[in-house]
């Protein structure tokens, strides 16, 4: 297989990769976006070299490569800074300090409570809090929809009870 750099579609692929990186890259790392795109490009090149069937990468694969390169850079940045890197910067950093402290307290309360929940209820509540629907949660964890809905319902109820017991009352 010839190197990616020699292929006529390289520019198109690279532009797609840059768009995907832009989707995941937090504002504070925008200055490193070109480096992230380059890292993603090298991953893509490596993957294509390993692919004996020489297939064009699909949109989903490009997205995954861009995501992985971006998250690796985010993690390096976290280690360098050892301070908060907000994935939800656009909302979190614009909030008043009181709101940030409140969110931090609730977040810690949730994580403390998760340890105490019945395991499957905790898994279901975790994915629900991340924004997944019940069918998606069932798909990810290998459960039926019925079982998933019950575990989400009970997990969230247990979580709210636990938060209340910590003084974080609804």
Partner 1 sequence: MTPGPLDTLRRAFVGGGEPLVAGSTCPSAAEIWDAAHAELDPARAREIVRHVATCAACAADWHLAMRGGERPAVAADLRPPRSSAVARWVRLAGAAAVLAGIGWLGLQGVRERETPPVFREGAGAAEIRALVPEDRPLARDGALLRWSALGEGARYTVELSAEDLTPLHTAHGLAASELEVPPEVLSRVGPGEAIVWRVEARLPDGTRVSSGAFVHRLE
C-alpha count within 13 angstroms, C-beta hemisphere, residue 115: 4
Site track for partner 1 across 84-123, x = CB under 8 A:
xxxxx--xx--x---xxxxxxxxxx-xx--xx---x--xx
Using the minimum distance from each CB to partner 1, give the nearer residue, 3 or 102. 102
Per rule CB under 8 A, is residue 138 in the interface with partner 1? yes
Q: How many amino acids of this chain bind partner 1 (CB under 8 A)?
A: 76
Question: Quick check: 129 binds partner 1 (CB under 8 A)?
Answer: yes
Q: Is 30 in the site for partner 1 (CB under 8 A)?
A: no
Phi-psi region of 148 (alpha: psi -120 to 50; beta: other; left: phi over 0): alpha
Q: Are 168 and 109 in contact (CB under 8 A)?
A: yes
User: 107-118: string of b/e by CB count within 10 Å (b at 16+)?
Assistant: eebbeebbeebe
**Minimum CB distance to partner 1, residue 34 (Å):** 19
Does the protein bind partner 1 through residue 38 (CB under 8 A)?
Answer: no
d(CA 44, CA 130): 28
CB under 8 A: which stretch of 7-15, 32-40, 47-55, 150-158 binds partner 1? 150-158
Could you tell me if 73 and 34 are in contact, meaning their C-beta atoms sit under 8 angstroms apart? Answer: no
Q: 3-class DSSP state for residue 7?
A: coil
Least Å from the CB of residue 98 to partner 1: 10
**Binding flag, residue 169, partner 1 (CB under 8 A):** yes
Query: Which has the closest alpha carbon to 134: 146, 119, 118?
Result: 146
Least Å distance, CB 14 to partner 1, is 17
Looking at 17, 20, 37, 41, which residue binds partner 1 (CB under 8 A)? 20
What DSSP element (H or E) covers 9?
none
Q: Which of residues 41-70 bind partner 1 (CB under 8 A)?
A: 60, 63-64, 66-68, 70
């Amino acid at each position: 297989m010839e190197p990616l750099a020699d292929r006529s579609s390289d520019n198109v692929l690279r532009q797609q990769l840059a768009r995907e990186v832009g989707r995941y890259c937090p504002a504070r790392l925008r200055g490193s976006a070109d480096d992230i795109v380059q890292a993603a490009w090298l991953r893509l090149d490596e993957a294509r070299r390993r692919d004996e069937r020489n297939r064009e990468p699909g949109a989903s694969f490009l997205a995954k490569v861009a995501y992985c390169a971006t998250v690796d850079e985010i993690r390096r940045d976290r280690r360098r800074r050892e301070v908060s890197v907000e994935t939800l910067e656009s909302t979190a950093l614009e909030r008043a300090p009181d709101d940030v402290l409140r969110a931090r307290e609730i977040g810690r309360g949730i994580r403390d409570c998760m340890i105490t929940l019945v395991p499957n209820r905790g898994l279901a509540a975790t994915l629900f809090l991340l924004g997944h629907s019940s069918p998606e949660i069932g798909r990810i964890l290998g459960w039926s929809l019925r079982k998933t809905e019950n575990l989400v319902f009970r997990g969230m109820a247990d979580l709210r009870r636990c938060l209340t017991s910590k003084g974080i009352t609804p």
